[in-house]
Chains A and B, each alone.
Chain A
Amino acid sequence: MSKMQIRDFLREIWRTRMSFLSIMSIIFLGTATFSGLRSTGPDMKLTANAYFSEHSLMDFKMQNPLGIVEDDVAAVNKLDYIDRAEGGWTVDAYLGKGNEKYVIKMHSISKTGMNRPVLVRGEMPVASNECVVELTVLDLFRLDIGDEISIYTEKGTYEGSLAHDKFTITGLVESPLYMSIERGASTIGNGIVTAYIMAPEEAFVMEVYTEMYAIVSGASEFETYGDEYKAYIESTRRSLSEFMEKRADEREAEIQALVGEILEDAERRLADGREQIADGERELANAKVQVATGQDELYKGRIERDSELANYRRQLNDGYQQLMDGEAEVAQGKRDLQASIDENAAAIAQYGNRTVSSLKAEIRQGEADIVDAERRLDNAARELDDAYRRLQSAPAAYRQRYQQDYNNGVADYQQGQRDLEQGRIDLANAKRDIQPILDLGYPDTMTVQQINDAEVGKYQQQINDGEQALRKGWADYNKGLEQYNDRAAQTQQQLNNGANEISSGQRQIEEGLTLLSNAYIELENGELEYLDGLEQLAAISQIKSASYLTDRTLNPGFINFEMDCDRVSALADVFPLIFFLVAALVALTAMTRMVDTRRTEIGAMRALGVSSRSIAATFILYALFASAIGAVGGFFAGSYVMPSIIINAYKAMYTLPTVQLGYYYSHLIFCGVFGTCLVLVATVIGFYSLLKESPARLSQPKAPMAGKRIFLERITFLWKSLPFKAKVMYRNIFRYKKRLFLTIFGIAGTAALVITALGLRDSVNAITGIQYSELNLSDLVVYMGDSSTMEHRSQVTSMIKTYPSVTAMSPAYYMMTSVTGGELVDNSVFYTVPADLDEFGKIVILRERLTHDLIELTDEGCVITEKMAELIECAVGEMIEFEVKGQKVSMPITGICENYAGHFIYITPNTYSRLTSEPLVFNLIYISNSDKESLRELASELLKHEGVPMVFYVDASLRYYEDSIKGISMAVWVIIYAAACLAFAVIYNLNNITITERQRELATLKVIGYYDMDVSAYLYRENALLTLFGIAAGQVLGYLLFKYLVSTIETNLVMFGRQLQFSSMVLAAVLTVIFAIFVNGTAHSRLKKVSMIDALKTTG
């Protein structure tokens, strides 16, 4: 292309910029919508996938009620298709206090980064009393990083499994294990998990792991929501399952061996125990005998001792007495001696130096003296007598003297007597004194002193001897006393010992008795434990088969996310087409218009000899250029904007950190090609008619299109009654066929889009609105455990019946089944057998969707849910085959009920009994309750019962759907917005084209004197009628589109509401009218600009 041509080309674009823009914009819009909507689903999946890959989300999770041991983990790690496997802990615990007590799940943080959480703020915990939490935890308690939280585990499975009670929050995280706001279920508390927290492995003190996570080698190459991943995981799962079963067998064997050992041990110990008890008893008996003997002996001993000691005592006493006598004697002797010494002292003093011979002499003397004295006295006496006589005879004068003399003489005589007496006495005394001495027989030469001394000496000697003897005697006595004491003590000691031994023996006996009775108790306990152990061993085999393997699909929110992605993608299948179809028409109109305006030019060129091809090339290039720019722009804009908006809306429901946007160039290519083809075809069509005319004719202005009567005119009476303006309007409308179709179709498309969008929202609303407020009135579903007994059942039912806020309860048997025929997903159908049909009818409403007639459940057959009926293509009266307790049964369908979530087959208890020959044992209970608060309390109470492993809150489902609605609502708004853009594009374009095409007519009107408003109204009337036609068509189109879309978007599990709400249709119409009015408003100024002079210029 020459520079000239390029310049001309660009100038042309500028000159016809409105047309260019309109083509470009419609292609832009179509491409943007197409690539935008089509990218969103994949982008969402891409985003999720990137998130999972980056955070090493596990591919498999293995759990076993017995726990997972290191050996299990090591064994799995050895498998070649496993990249790595790790054990981890999850503990269900409580966070908070009192009323504000929430059930949380506490996860261990992998040291290798598996299931690594996103650290939003703060730091990862290091110490065993640190943790990270999710935002919910901070919000619930108004906490922040650095605060401490208390975690309680309750009695039971998780008791004592944590190292600490308090944990310090170090950071805020989001875990890839939890994509949505769902947190899963728990067996503690009220069964609802409110939040999760994560802590280092050191915070957990359980012996075995609660789960094992594994990453499959090479799985991260695949997109997690793609078929390849699913296939890969499936095949791996099979191997892994087998492996796990083998491992479980091994483990069971290990455990059984271990337990066997333990039991053997226990048995041995029990036997030992019994033996020991027997021994103990024997010993005890012996001891008793011994004690008895001992007591006897003691008694005897005491008696012996007593007598012995008494003897002894007697002897001692005798001895003592003797000694005391001896003492007395000695003392006496000493006294005697002393006395005698004293006695003799005088004599000694007197006679000391006198020898025996002298003494003898003395005595002789004395005696002699005495004799003398006696004689004298006798003489004296005689004298006296004489004196007396004298006296007597004396004269008176002399009497006195003689008396005196007599007296004196008497006195002297008396004295003499006395002296004689004295002398006698003295002699007697002396004799007395001396005689003993003489008696002693000592040699005469010895002096008295000497004799005294000798005698004293002798005496002393005797005394000494006596004392000595006494001393000896005392010594002996003391010894004897000592011996006695010793003996006494000794024997006492022996007796004491004996008594002590006896009492200790008795104590021991008592202790022994106590120990024995304790031992009995222990033995009993031991036997009970042993029996328990046996039971558990038996139970282990049952439990083993319950070990299970899950993959990502059981992560809360995982499948829901996929379903949401698919829904968005389903939307993307249909909507963009509408845009493109409209684009086709707009392009056609624009290009035709453009070609028409260049008519004379083309004619001139043809006349000059320029080939049609060459001329065409310019237009084609123009068209290509416009659509190329539109496509490329739309592609990038759409791929960026739409997914961003929609994914951001879903971010409210799911945690998706970084949005990944993919640019799927296939979209661009498709749109580009499609769009360009459209435009080209339009151009060619527009061009073709021109080419047929000769250059000469082309040079002349196009002959105006001939006027024609319209069909309506034939109805003459109707036509005649129409006002002029209306006739003009009708004529004009039907004259410009392209405009007619384009407007109607464009508006119809817009209206249809809006209807579909609103209808979709209604459909999803139906699930929540109808399903949970009209069809399923239960608030709580209580599951009975596999091992719960009849007693449990009756306890639980009476617990519920007596609970004041419960308004209805219906026990039922509920089991998975597979239905023959149709496209039902495996294990998605459940059959339900209510125990009491009346109570059941209060909670689950079986009714026909269209008529709302209640369906009665009878013994004649079964009632099935609508979606299932659709999928297996069965109607009322036909037979359905499904599995009950392992056998296939066939029965007629007596009713098809309205239902939006899940597939169910309802049969009566009689039917069930007939089929299985078993009585009905319910395994769940539907409960309808009056308020939320008491419901939670009831749930907590029920969970405490050992027969109830789980409860399910029905409003959890509801909340999921409500959230789903939010996601869909965003998509709906996007679509409505796009629809508005579409309306704008179509009408704006059309108006421009119309104004350009009919500017002569419009200018003429102005000349004639039509005010601006009149001129606009002239056009508006036409547009308005076309819009109305369009809306009418749109209602029909929208309805069809809606029906198609609903069944496409539905997943197999869910039936969307099938009814399009009348209000939605009205709303759609109103919205479309609003769009139309708005756009037409822009035409007014354009019309004002139509210049009478330019438009009516003579040329052309």
Chain B
Amino acid sequence: MSFIELKNISKTYQVGLEEFYAANNVTIKIEQGEFVVIVGPSGAGKTTLLNIIGGMEIPDNGTIKVDSQKINGLSNRQLTAYRRSSVGYVYQHYNLVQNLTAYENVELAAEIADDPLDAGETLELVGLGDKLNNFPSQLSGGEQQRVAIARALVKRPMLVLCDEPTGALDYTTGKEILGVLRDITTTLSTTVILITHNMSITPIADRIIQMRSGKVSRQFLNPTPADVSVIEW
């Protein structure tokens, strides 16, 4: 039994008169503590898949189990509960609350967790111990992303989902972020799933899933994930 199991997941959208498959009969497995990268060109359905895994979208068909819990048939509230306790999300554009300091942003998530990490410590964990009281506008892109990661982590989620986390960052900062994310899997045993269209990131992953037009074209394990410093794009 894998940690995360997707079986025959499909999601369609109505665009005009046509039906468009965001996810088309996707079946994947992910084990706990893995660093998974889902790659594919724009519109391949990566975000949709991530959303389904994260309980933000409900698949039209198929089943998904996370830690033996069936996710696909849950109600809104149950999905929210799932997210609340088990999922942390990191976005490309950080989505921090501008009006709250870094510390407060993290606290926002900590408030609703049953057994959160200490917000300050989490920020230290991501290397922002000295920028606790800065507003997002007073932080660089990378720092903001770190805050976002801290926010995702403070809940002690099983799962951290990242949607193009380095998309708005420069090369160096991006690599730093990747490093942070990579480290989580080892330090916190969190499963990290990252989606990107940047193939160059894939070497650091434990599992790579390639998607195209809503379908999984290829998924395979990477027995020897590289170190972040190695990759280039």
Question: Shortest beta-carbon distance, A472 to chain B, in Å?
Answer: 172
Q: Bound state CA distance, A724 and B100, in angstroms?
A: 11
Residue B5 lies at the interface, judged by CB distance under 8 Å to chain A: no
Please tell me if the beta carbons of A1008 and B107 are within 8 angstroms of each other in the complex: no
Q: Bound state CA distance, A725 and B137, in angstroms?
A: 21
Please tell me if the beta carbons of A1011 and B100 are within 8 angstroms of each other in the complex: no
Please tell me if the beta carbons of A1004 and B98 are within 8 angstroms of each other in the complex: no
Question: Shortest beta-carbon distance, A353 to chain B, in Å?
Answer: 197
Q: Bound state CA distance, A418 and B197, in angstroms?
A: 233
Contact of B99 among A735, A1003, A1006, A1011 (CB under 8 A): A735
Residue B61 lies at the interface, judged by CB distance under 8 Å to chain A: no
Residues of A within 8 A of B83 (CB): 1007-1009
Please tell me if the beta carbons of A707 and B85 are within 8 angstroms of each other in the complex: no
Residues of A within 8 A of B107 (CB): 724
Given the contacts A724-B104, A724-B107, A1009 and B112 also touching, CB distance less than 8 Å: yes
Please tell me if the beta carbons of A1093 and B56 are within 8 angstroms of each other in the complex: yes
Residue B183 lies at the interface, judged by CB distance under 8 Å to chain A: no
Residues of A within 8 A of B92 (CB): 1098
Question: Shortest beta-carbon distance, B150 to chain A, in Å?
Answer: 12
Given the contacts A1007-B56, A1098-B93, A731 and B100 also touching, CB distance less than 8 Å: yes
Which residues of A (707-741) have their CB < 8 Å from a CB of B? 707-708, 724-725, 727-728, 731-732, 735
Given the contacts A728-B100, A728-B108, A1093-B56, A1011 and B51 also touching, CB distance less than 8 Å: no
Given the contacts A727-B104, A735-B99, A1010 and B80 also touching, CB distance less than 8 Å: yes
**Contact residues of A: prevailing secondary structure:** helix
Q: Which residue of A lies closest to B111 (CB)?
A: A724
Given the contacts A1009-B83, A1011-B80, A1098-B164, A1004 and B111 also touching, CB distance less than 8 Å: no
Residues of B within 8 A of A1012 (CB): 76-77, 80
Please tell me if the beta carbons of A706 and B108 are within 8 angstroms of each other in the complex: no
Which residues of A (929-972) have their CB < 8 Å from a CB of B? none
Question: Shortest beta-carbon distance, B71 to chain A, in Å?
Answer: 14
Residues of B within 8 A of A1093 (CB): 51, 56-57
Residues of A within 8 A of B151 (CB): 1008
Q: Bound state CA distance, A422 and B51, in angstroms?
A: 216
Please tell me if the beta carbons of B101 and A1008 are within 8 angstroms of each other in the complex: no
Please tell me if the beta carbons of B155 and A1009 are within 8 angstroms of each other in the complex: yes
Q: Bound state CA distance, A1092 and B80, in angstroms?
A: 11
Question: Shortest beta-carbon distance, A702 to chain B, in Å?
Answer: 12
Contact of B95 among A706, A1011, A1096 (CB under 8 A): A1096
Q: Bound state CA distance, A1000 and B93, in angstroms?
A: 11
Residue B21 lies at the interface, judged by CB distance under 8 Å to chain A: no
Please tell me if the beta carbons of A1007 and B98 are within 8 angstroms of each other in the complex: no
Question: Shortest beta-carbon distance, B207 to chain A, in Å?
Answer: 24
Residue B3 lies at the interface, judged by CB distance under 8 Å to chain A: no
Residue A385 lies at the interface, judged by CB distance under 8 Å to chain B: no
Residues of B within 8 A of A1006 (CB): 80
Residue B109 lies at the interface, judged by CB distance under 8 Å to chain A: yes
Please tell me if the beta carbons of A1092 and B95 are within 8 angstroms of each other in the complex: no
Residue B136 lies at the interface, judged by CB distance under 8 Å to chain A: yes
Please tell me if the beta carbons of A1009 and B81 are within 8 angstroms of each other in the complex: yes
Please tell me if the beta carbons of B104 and A1001 are within 8 angstroms of each other in the complex: no
Please tell me if the beta carbons of B135 and A706 are within 8 angstroms of each other in the complex: yes
Please tell me if the beta carbons of B87 and A1009 are within 8 angstroms of each other in the complex: yes
Residue B167 lies at the interface, judged by CB distance under 8 Å to chain A: yes
Question: Shortest beta-carbon distance, B99 to chain A, in Å?
Answer: 5
Q: Bound state CA distance, A1079 and B130, in angstroms?
A: 43
Please tell me if the beta carbons of A1098 and B137 are within 8 angstroms of each other in the complex: no
Please tell me if the beta carbons of B89 and A1007 are within 8 angstroms of each other in the complex: yes
Per the CB 8 Å criterion, the residue count for chain B at the interface is 37
Residues of A within 8 A of B167 (CB): 1098
Q: Which residue of B lies closest to A1097 (CB)?
A: B47
Which residues of A (1023-1073) have their CB < 8 Å from a CB of B? none
Residues of A within 8 A of B226 (CB): none
Please tell me if the beta carbons of B109 and A708 are within 8 angstroms of each other in the complex: no
Which residues of A (549-568) have their CB < 8 Å from a CB of B? none
Residues of A within 8 A of B164 (CB): 1098
Per the CB 8 Å criterion, the residue count for chain A at the interface is 29
Contact of A706 among B76, B91, B98, B109 (CB under 8 A): B98
Which residues of B (60-88) have their CB < 8 Å from a CB of A? 76-77, 80-81, 83-85, 87
Residues of B within 8 A of A728 (CB): 97, 99-100, 104, 108
Residue A705 lies at the interface, judged by CB distance under 8 Å to chain B: yes
Please tell me if the beta carbons of B93 and A1009 are within 8 angstroms of each other in the complex: no
Given the contacts A1007-B89, A1098-B167, A707 and B136 also touching, CB distance less than 8 Å: yes
Q: Bound state CA distance, A705 and B96, in angstroms?
A: 12
Q: Bound state CA distance, A1006 and B108, in angstroms?
A: 11
Residues of A within 8 A of B81 (CB): 1009, 1011
Please tell me if the beta carbons of B101 and A707 are within 8 angstroms of each other in the complex: yes
Residues of B within 8 A of A527 (CB): none
Question: Shortest beta-carbon distance, A711 to chain B, in Å?
Answer: 14
Please tell me if the beta carbons of B85 and A1009 are within 8 angstroms of each other in the complex: yes
Please tell me if the beta carbons of B95 and A1000 are within 8 angstroms of each other in the complex: yes
Residues of B within 8 A of A441 (CB): none
Question: Shortest beta-carbon distance, A528 to chain B, in Å?
Answer: 106
Which residues of B (121-166) have their CB < 8 Å from a CB of A? 135-138, 151, 155, 163-164
Please tell me if the beta carbons of B137 and A707 are within 8 angstroms of each other in the complex: yes
Q: Bound state CA distance, A1009 and B80, in angstroms?
A: 5
Please tell me if the beta carbons of B100 and A1008 are within 8 angstroms of each other in the complex: no
Q: Bound state CA distance, A707 and B155, in angstroms?
A: 24
Contact of A1001 among B57, B89, B97, B135 (CB under 8 A): B97
Residues of B within 8 A of A1001 (CB): 97
Q: Bound state CA distance, A704 and B104, in angstroms?
A: 17
Residues of B within 8 A of A1007 (CB): 54, 56, 83, 89, 95
Q: Bound state CA distance, A1012 and B163, in angstroms?
A: 23
Please tell me if the beta carbons of A706 and B137 are within 8 angstroms of each other in the complex: yes
Q: Bound state CA distance, A157 and B70, in angstroms?
A: 103
Q: Which residue of B lies closest to A1008 (CB)?
A: B109
Q: Bound state CA distance, A755 and B93, in angstroms?
A: 48
Residue A234 lies at the interface, judged by CB distance under 8 Å to chain B: no
The interface centre, meaning the residue of A705, A1000, A1007 with most chain B CB atoms within 10 A of its CB, is A1007
Please tell me if the beta carbons of A708 and B77 are within 8 angstroms of each other in the complex: no
Please tell me if the beta carbons of A1004 and B97 are within 8 angstroms of each other in the complex: yes
Q: Bound state CA distance, A594 and B151, in angstroms?
A: 32
The interface centre, meaning the residue of B77, B84, B98, B112 with most chain A CB atoms within 10 A of its CB, is B98
Q: Bound state CA distance, A806 and B91, in angstroms?
A: 89
Residues of A within 8 A of B104 (CB): 724, 727-728, 731
Residue A1014 lies at the interface, judged by CB distance under 8 Å to chain B: yes
Q: Which residue of A lies closest to B135 (CB)?
A: A707
Please tell me if the beta carbons of B87 and A707 are within 8 angstroms of each other in the complex: no
Question: Shortest beta-carbon distance, B44 to chain A, in Å?
Answer: 14
Which residues of B (199-224) have their CB < 8 Å from a CB of A? none
Residues of B within 8 A of A704 (CB): 98, 136-137
Which residues of A (651-694) have their CB < 8 Å from a CB of B? none
Question: Shortest beta-carbon distance, B60 to chain A, in Å?
Answer: 15
Q: Bound state CA distance, A708 and B83, in angstroms?
A: 30
Given the contacts A727-B104, A1098-B164, A1098-B167, A1092 and B97 also touching, CB distance less than 8 Å: no
Contact of B84 among A706, A1009, A1092, A1096 (CB under 8 A): A1009
Q: How would residues 1010 to 1025 of chain A score, 1 for a CB under 8 Å from any chain B CB and 0 otherwise? A: 1110100000000000
Q: Please list 25 pairs of residues, one from A and one from B, whose beta carbons are closer than 8 Å in the complex, sorted by A's number.
A: A704-B137, A705-B98, A706-B137, A707-B101, A724-B108, A728-B97, A728-B100, A731-B100, A731-B104, A1000-B95, A1001-B97, A1004-B97, A1007-B56, A1007-B95, A1008-B112, A1009-B81, A1009-B87, A1009-B155, A1010-B80, A1011-B80, A1011-B81, A1012-B80, A1092-B51, A1093-B51, A1098-B167
7 A-B pairs with the lowest CB-CB distances in the bound complex, closest first: A1009-B84, A707-B135, A706-B137, A1009-B83, A707-B99, A1004-B95, A704-B98
Having A728-B97, A1008-B155, A1098-B93, one finds 19 other A-B pairs with CB under 8 Å, namely A704-B98, A705-B98, A706-B138, A707-B101, A707-B136, A725-B111, A731-B100, A735-B99, A1004-B95, A1004-B97, A1007-B83, A1008-B84, A1009-B85, A1011-B84, A1012-B77, A1092-B56, A1093-B57, A1096-B91, A1098-B167
